[in-house]
Structure 1
């Protein structure tokens, strides 16, 4: 690994550790589960902006360039940039292209594709996003072509949907699911995921 990629690796790993540390503090206070914390958003955007700069300077941190751990960490940083739709959409285009030669972790590309669709209010392809329904039950949101979902998941290295363990988020279900959904839609409009 060249010095440029070693430095890129170190910076990516530092950012994901900082992301996790902020998340843990907010989880302990409960703030993490009460809408999108401004502290978390600031951390996510700071990391996404830096990652974008590094990608523009050196190219995408692929598995051959920085190793699997850092490539996964970079994908996680992209997945966390939820209030920057343009960046996530640009990264989807780039990573889908890189996936053709298996240069990026395919599970994370699947998650990125689904996350974008989820925030845009469209059906998912791989069923990697859940949300609370009107009864306050955490469920995978609508997916395209449901009978073939697990076959698509398998192609991307994801386990069958029914084998997934219960999410720890289930314990933090909203007291007013309908109000939470309205606030969520308003947020997607505000940051630019949706226009109507």
Structure 2
């Protein structure tokens, strides 16, 4: 590991993110849209990581170790209020994945999240949301018949069916509940995506 101090800082960003998520889950504040406190932390973390990337380039396993590399991915994955940053990181991540210096699963998740935010079908079926029946289901998937082959090709260990079952189990365990008004939440999400620049108005 080339940058142990930076590695520690990135892991700290991740831990703060996860601690806030746990707090909001216990307070029942995760199902009704993008919580302001969470949004502010995500933006703060992304800005810190952006400065780190300017200093050392993308935080690969070689530079910061496996744990901090994974933590950097989580910060990027949660930077949904910053489309330009998120898409730039996706390009950098693709380069280091191609050079076998980062995990291909991370790129699969990030590229799927960007696709969903841009109202495009995802490729690997990693992104889920509440459906109109109050169940967590995959967002629309491109060529769904072959999704499990694509998942396997990047090292995702489970099928889309297994992941759906697992996500629903964890949602019950974490006491996550569907939004009270599905259509209102969906409309608010679309308006939010326009406001930050994921989709054009």
Point out which structure has higher relative CO (alpha carbons under 8 A, 6+ apart): 2
**1:6 — aligned with what?**
4
Deviations, residues 145-172 of structure 1 (Å, cap 9, x unaligned): 1121111101111121112214333641
Instruction: Measure how far apart 1:123 and its partner are.
Output: 0.3
**1:139 — aligned with what?**
137
Mapping for residues 156-195 of structure 1, pairs under 5 Å: 156-158=154-156, 159-164=158-163, 165-167=166-168, 168-169=170-171, 171-195=176-200
Query: Contact conserved, 2:32 with 2:185, CA < 8 A, in 1?
Result: no
Deviations, residues 57-78 of structure 1 (Å, cap 9, x unaligned): 1111101111111111100000
**1:25 — aligned with what?**
23
Instruction: Name structure 2 gaps, 5 residues minimum.
Output: none
TM-score of the two chains, using structure 1 as the length reference? 0.94
Query: Contact conserved, 1:136 with 1:175, CA < 8 A, in 2?
Result: no
Name whichever of 42-51 and 134-143 sits farther off.
134-143
**1:96 — aligned with what?**
94
**2:54 — aligned with what?**
56
Instruction: Measure how far apart 1:11 and its partner are.
Output: 0.5
Matched residue SS, 1:118? helix
How many residue pairs match? The answer is: 194
Query: Aligned equivalents of 1:105 and 1:38: distance in 2?
Result: 30
Matched residue SS, 2:30? helix
Per the alignment, do residues 37 and 186 of structure 1 end up closer, same or farther by CA in structure 2, a change over 3 Å counting?
A: same
Query: Contact conserved, 1:62 with 1:71, CA < 8 A, in 2?
Result: yes
Name whichever of 131-140 and 105-114 sits farther off.
131-140
Q: CA RMSD in A?
A: 1.3
